């Protein structure tokens, strides 16, 4: 079985699979299905799981497996709290829920609004709790995540304020058709490469926001690409950007297809912006009516 490529996760010293498990997929799963999902991920070579305090029962679903396999993966979670006290409580709660003594990466979740940024990064803010947790050995590395069209410039601002170990933000063919977003994303990627900051990307298989008339079962807040060829091209398009990691969708029904696509990716013949991949994505844009998830003035998400 082909393996999924690994890369150094920034300066952390960890070789992470380029597909990172977006553990929001576990949020509503029963334990038996969660166990099978984790087994599938490990068989595929995924060694980096990304969860969050706000992902329903996802942290709890990881706990039984982590009890015997903690050392096999790089474990990341997130806090959406903006104050020092609340973030400290969130970190301790995540440790307890997952039954672990240490988290590899704790991230400030969706830090894209000015008011929240000022609160989290200022005196008495969440960043202080993250630093204290690192100093106490509860966490090893610190990161920041975000959604929307402002996220790249906000991450640049965050990196000016503090040397985070990782960032996370949307990266899709449709998002990169927004010229302003593309410029800011490229600026962020250049800075991260220069400073050894890991770049995680999300929403790679997003088709568009759900439409009222669509009655399909919904396992993510956006409608994903389900057509097999288009899904594979979307994964390959994202992976073709040198150095980035791709977080899997919260729609667990598409996880196996995502893993299979990643295993078939050949970095030696795929380059970001290459004509074949761009041409393929443009064709799927037309055939599947792809839309960017975020446009200026409509950055909100159903978290």
DSSP 249: P
For position 270, what pLDDT does the model report?
61
Residue 276 and residue 49 in contact, taking contact as beta carbons nearer than 8 Å = no
At 252, which CATH number? 3.20.20.100
Q: Residue 113 falls within a domain, yes or no?
A: yes
Q: Residue 107 falls within a domain, yes or no?
A: yes
- Kindly give the residue spans of alpha helices, DSSP state H, lying in 54-138: 58-69, 84-98, 114-121, 126-135
Q: Residue 293 falls within a domain, yes or no?
A: no
For position 276, what pLDDT does the model report?
87
Residue 246 and residue 235 in contact, taking contact as beta carbons nearer than 8 Å = yes
Q: Residue 135 falls within a domain, yes or no?
A: yes
Q: Residue 303 falls within a domain, yes or no?
A: no
Number of domains comprising the chain:
1
For position 302, what pLDDT does the model report?
43
Digits of tens for pLDDT over the chain (303 positions)? 568 999 999 999 999 999 999 999 999 899 999 999 999 999 999 999 999 999 999 999 999 999 999 999 999 999 999 999 999 999 999 999 999 999 999 999 999 999 999 999 999 999 999 999 999 999 999 999 999 999 999 999 999 999 999 999 999 999 999 999 999 999 999 999 999 999 999 999 999 999 988 888 888 999 999 999 999 999 999 999 999 999 999 999 999 999 999 999 987 666 545 578 999 999 999 999 999 999 887 666 544
Beta bridge partners, 208, equal 223
Burial class (CB in 10 A: 0-12, 13-18, 19+), 114: exposed
* Rounded Cα distance, 50 and 35, in Å: 16
Indicate yes or no: pTM above 0.75: yes
Q: Residue 299 falls within a domain, yes or no?
A: no
For position 271, what pLDDT does the model report?
55
Q: For every residue of 55-79, which 3-state class applies, written as one string?
A: CCCHHHHHHHHHHHHHHHCEEEEEE
For position 303, what pLDDT does the model report?
40
Closest CA to 3 of 46, 32, 38: 46
Domain that holds residue 218: 6-288
Q: Residue 74 falls within a domain, yes or no?
A: yes
Q: Residue 297 falls within a domain, yes or no?
A: no
* Rounded Cα distance, 174 and 190, in Å: 21
């Amino acid at each position: 079985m082909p393996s999924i490529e690994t890369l150094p996760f920034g300066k952390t010293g960890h070789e992470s699979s380029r597909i990172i498990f977006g553990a929001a997929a576990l949020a509503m799963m029963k334990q038996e299905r969660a166990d099978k999902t984790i087994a599938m991920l490990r068989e595929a070579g995924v060694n980096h799981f990304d969860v969050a305090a706000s992902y329903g029962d996802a942290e709890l679903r990881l706990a039984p497996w982590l009890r015997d396999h903690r050392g096999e993966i790089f474990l990341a979670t997130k806090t959406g709290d903006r104050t020092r006290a609340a973030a400290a409580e969130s970190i301790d709660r995540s440790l307890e829920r997952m039954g672990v003594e240490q988290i590899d990466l704790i991230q400030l979740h969706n830090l894209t609004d000015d008011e929240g940024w000022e609160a989290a990064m200022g005196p008495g803010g969440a960043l202080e709790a993250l630093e204290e947790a690192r100093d106490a050995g509860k966490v090893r590395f610190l990161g920041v995540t975000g959604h929307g069209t402002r996220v790249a410039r906000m991450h640049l601002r965050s990196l000016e304020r503090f040397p985070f170990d990782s960032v996370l933000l949307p990266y899709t063919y449709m998002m990169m058709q927004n010229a302003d977003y593309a410029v800011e994303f490229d600026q962020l990627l250049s800075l991260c490469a220069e400073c050894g900051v890991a770049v995680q990307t999300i929403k790679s298989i997003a088709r568009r926001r759900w439409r009222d008339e669509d009655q399909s079962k919904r396992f993510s807040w956006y409608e994903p690409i389900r057509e097999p060829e288009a899904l594979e091209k979307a994964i390959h398009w994202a992976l073709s950007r040198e150095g980035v990691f791709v977080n899997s969708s919260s729609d667990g029904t598409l996880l196996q297809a995502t893993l299979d696509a990643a295993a078939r990716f050949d970095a030696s013949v795929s380059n970001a912006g290459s004509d074949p991949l761009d041409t393929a994505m443009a064709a799927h844009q037309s055939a599947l009516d792809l839309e960017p998830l975020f446009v200026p003035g409509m950055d909100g998400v159903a978290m």
